[in-house]
Amino acid sequence: MDAVGLKEVQAPLKQVYREAPEKALITLRARGALDDSEIACRVETGRMLAVAGLHPATGGSGMELCSGDMLLEALVACAGVTMKAVATALEFRLGAATIEAEGDLDFRGTLGLAKDAPVGFCAIRLTCNLDTDEPQERIDALLKLTERYCVVFQTLNSRPELTVTGHA
């Protein structure tokens, strides 16, 4: 898809959302079921079943997916799609590109060993490796817009309201 094609696809959506902002608010959902025999959760992804379990650093076998890895993978996926869309819209000459995310976890927090250790990532780094001959100011603009419009990045960055409920 080129810039013209992207604009053709997005223009009617943007018009609807301008005229009726409430139509832009869409609720996404994820669903999982606890495994009966293992410490695992079976997550429906729409394409396949993903089985998440404990990370080996907390006693897991390493056979199941780690939800921390899945979070980083979601960040990479979102940043990659966002970057490709922005590059397309800007007619940015982009050859091969890779995006890597790495995050630091102190597992003492999740294991309840140290109250001063956070439960969750204390740092996440996103690295974009671009094959381009574009000038640095265009590269900087691409990265800035990718960061600005990446849903997962902005969600992690802004700390949305979170709630947990339970029902019997």
CATH of 3-158, one of 3.30.300.20, 3.40.605.10, 3.40.50.360, 3.40.630.10: 3.30.300.20
What is the structure's pLDDT at 48?
A: 87
Q: What pLDDT shows up at residue 45? A: 85
Q: How far apart are CA 15 and CA 142, in angstroms?
A: 24
Q: Tell me what pLDDT residue 141 has.
A: 97
pLDDT less than 50: residues of the chain: none
Domain parsing of the chain, residue ranges: 3-158
Q: Specify the pTM.
A: 0.91
The per-residue pLDDT for 113 is: 96
- Please list, in sequence order, all residues whose beta carbon lies within 8 angstroms of the beta carbon of residue 158, skipping any fewer than 6 positions away: none
The three-state (H, E, C) secondary structure of 44-105, written as one string = ECCCCEEEEECCHHHCCCCCCEEHHHHHHHHHHHHHHHHHHHHHHHHCCCCCCEEEEEEEEE
Tokens (6 digits) for 47:
């394409």
